[in-house]
Structure 1
Amino acid sequence: MSTSDSSYQALVAKYQALKQEFESPRSNPDKCRDLLLQLKMGLADLACFDVSNGHTEALTLARDILEIGAYWSIRVGDIPSFERYITQLSPYYYDLSSTLPDSPRMYPLLGLNLLRLLAQGRLADFHTALELVDPAELKQNRFIRHPVHLEQSLMEGSYKKVWNSRTEVPAPEYMFFMDILTTTIRNQIASCSEKAYDSLPLEDAATLLFFPRVEDVVEFAKERNWRVNSVDRKIYFGNDDTNMSDLPVDTVISQTLHYAKELEKIV
C-alpha cells in the first residue's frame, strides 16, 4: 500500500471529517460513531492496523483514529468500548513508541485508563498498567500523577482526599470516571454506616457521604431503603418497625457522640 493511493487519501479525508465533527461544539455522537465504523473498516481493508507493515503515516493515522474512538467512548459513556480502544492502542504506544511521532493524546488516555481501573476496583490491573508507563512520567506527568495519587489515597482510606481531587482533574473527561469512583466510595461508606450505627443526623450523614445538600441524602436514603424521620431529622438504618419516636434518648445521644468521633477520623 502506498500513502499516495486514492483509497488511502479517501481515508485521510474521512479522518479529517471525523476530527472536525468530534471537535465541533455541536458534535453529533451518532455521526462520529458512523464515521469511526467506516474508518475502522477502511483501515482494516488497507492493513493499516498491521503494526508490522512499516508505513509510518498509515500507522499514525490508525493510532489517531483509535484515539478519537477512545475519547468518543467516554463522551457517550461506553466503558467496554473505551477498554477495547485502549487495548487496540497499546501496541502503538509501546511497541511502536520509537517509530511513530509522539501523540499528545497518549498520556491523557493512559491516565484515563488508570482511573477507569481504579473506578472499577481492579487494583491488580491498575498496577500492571502502571508498570508499562515510563517511570519518569509517574511524578512529572499530571495525567498519570492524578490516578497515582488517587490510588494512594484509597489505600490510606483518605476518602476526603479522593473527593477533593475532583477539583484537580487534569482534563474534563476524567470527571466521568471520578463520578463512578465517588459513587463506589459513597456506597462503601453507606454499607459501613449501616453496620456501625442505628441512626445518624441528616446533616452528619450528608458530610459523611459527601453530599452538598441534605436533600441529596434523603434521595440516597430512599434508594437504600433507609427510613428518614423529618421531625428529628435523622436517618434510621434498621429494618424493624419500632416507632422512631420511642427510641431511648440516651441511646441516640450516645450513638451521635460516637459518630462525631468517628467522623473526625474519616474526614
Structure 2
Amino acid sequence: MTVDAALKEAHSALIKQFQSIESRGNDISALKNVEAQLANLKVLLTSHDLLYPQAIDAAANKESLVLARDVLEVGALWSIRMKNTNQFDRYWSQLKPFYLDLADELPRSTNYEPILGLSLLRDLAANSIASFHISLESLPMELVRDSPYIQHPVLLERWLMEGSYSNVWRERENVPLDEYRFFVDILVVTIRHEIASCEERAYDTLPLNDVATLLFFDALPEVLEFAKERGWHVNPTNQTVEFSNKNTDGTADSEENIPMRSTITTNLHFAKELESIV
C-alpha cells in the first residue's frame, strides 16, 4: 500500500524542519514549528491507524509504518531538545511497538540505537534501576557490547553502583549524542543530592571550597544556591558550610547510624579523582 500523499508531504516537511534545528542552535521558533508539525502528523497517523500499529498488516504497510516510526523518533529527539521528559516518555512508549513488535518486519532505523540509549539514560536519571536492568536484559548481547549508544548508559550505571561519581561527571563531556547530556545532567543533580545527604550525616561543618569540590560545582553562586535548597547555613566570615544534621526531635543522629570513617574515605577519594582530572 502506498503512503498517503498528504502524510508523505507532511513527513518530508517535518524532517527538513527538524534537520534545520541543528544549524540554528535549537532556535525556539524552529522548535515550535516542529511541535506544530508533529501535532498535525500525529492526527494524520491516527486517521490512518498507524500510530498504534499492532492490528494492521505490517508487510502490506511497510512504507507507511517506517514513515510513522520516523515521526515518533523525531518527536522523541525533539522532546529532549525542549527539555520535556514527560513528552519523551510518551514518544518512547509509542515507539516500543515499532522497535519490539515490528523489529523483524521493518528495516532498522538509524535512530534505533541512539533512542534506545536515551531510554536507558532516562531510567537512570529517574533512579529506576530495576526498569533499567529489565530493559537492558531484553536487548541482544552483541548490541549491548558493541553499540556506543548502549555502552554509555551501561558504564554510567556501573560507576553509579561503584560510587565512582567523578567518572559520571567526566562523562558529561563524552556523550555519543548531544541529546544524551540532558539526562546526564539530571543524573548529576541526583548524585549531588546523594553526596549532600552523606555530608550532612558525616560532618557538622565543611569549608565552602571543599563542598564545591565534592559536589562538582565550578562557581560559588551555584554552591550558595544548592546550600539554600538543602537548608544549609553558609558562614561568610570563615567561608564554611554548616549542615542541618539534626533529627526532627532536635537530637543529633546517634554515632552508630553514621558511617563516618567510610564516608570520609570515600569523599577524599572523590576529591583526589577530581583533582587528577583537573
1:86 aligns with 2:82: no
- Determine what percentage of the aligned residue pairs are the same residue: 44
Paired position in structure 2 for 1:15? 11
Paired position in structure 2 for 1:222? 228
Q: Which amino acid aligns with 1:21?
A: Q
Alpha-carbon distance in structure 2 between the residues aligned to 1:100 and 1:229: 62
Paired position in structure 2 for 1:127? 133
| Offset at residue 29 of structure 1 (A) | 2.0
Paired position in structure 1 for 2:255? none
| Offset at residue 48 of structure 1 (A) | 2.3
1:263 aligns with 2:264: no
Matches within 5 A, 1:1-267: 2-3=1-2, 8-24=4-20, 25=24, 26=27, 28-49=30-51, 50-51=53-54, 52-54=56-58, 55-238=61-244, 261-267=265-271
Q: Which amino acid aligns with 2:175?
A: V
Under a length normalisation based on structure 1, what TM-score does the superposition of the two structures give? Answer: 0.87
| Offset at residue 263 of structure 1 (A) | 2.6
Alpha-carbon distance in structure 2 between the residues aligned to 1:11 and 1:178: 35
The answer to which of 38-47 and 115-124 deviates more is 38-47
Secondary structure of 1:192's partner? Answer: helix
| Offset at residue 62 of structure 1 (A) | 0.6
Q: Aligned pair in 2 of structure 1 residues 258, 15: CA closer, same or farther (>3 Å)?
A: closer
Under a length normalisation based on structure 2, what TM-score does the superposition of the two structures give? Answer: 0.83
Q: Aligned pair in 2 of structure 1 residues 195, 23: CA closer, same or farther (>3 Å)?
A: same
Provide Cα deviations, 1:198-247, integer angstroms capped at 9, x if missing partner. 0000111111101112332122212222111122111111489xxxxxxx
Tell me which stretches of 4 or more aligned residues in structure 1 moved more than 6 Å: 257-260
| Offset at residue 259 of structure 1 (A) | 8.2
Q: Which amino acid aligns with 1:29?
A: L
Q: Aligned pair in 2 of structure 1 residues 239, 116: CA closer, same or farther (>3 Å)?
A: closer
Secondary structure of 2:234's partner? Answer: strand
The CA RMSD measured in Å over matched residues stands at: 2.0
Alpha-carbon distance in structure 1 between the residues aligned to 2:136 and 2:172: 21
Alpha-carbon distance in structure 2 between the residues aligned to 1:38 and 1:258: 56
Provide Cα deviations, 1:66-90, integer angstroms capped at 9, x if missing partner. 0001111111122121111111111
Alpha-carbon distance in structure 1 between the residues aligned to 2:78 and 2:232: 38
Secondary structure of 1:94's partner? Answer: helix
Alpha-carbon distance in structure 2 between the residues aligned to 1:46 and 1:260: 61
Provide Cα deviations, 1:3-56, integer angstroms capped at 9, x if missing partner. 16xxx1111101111111112124622221121111111111112232432211
Q: Aligned pair in 2 of structure 1 residues 130, 64: CA closer, same or farther (>3 Å)?
A: same
| Offset at residue 261 of structure 1 (A) | 4.6
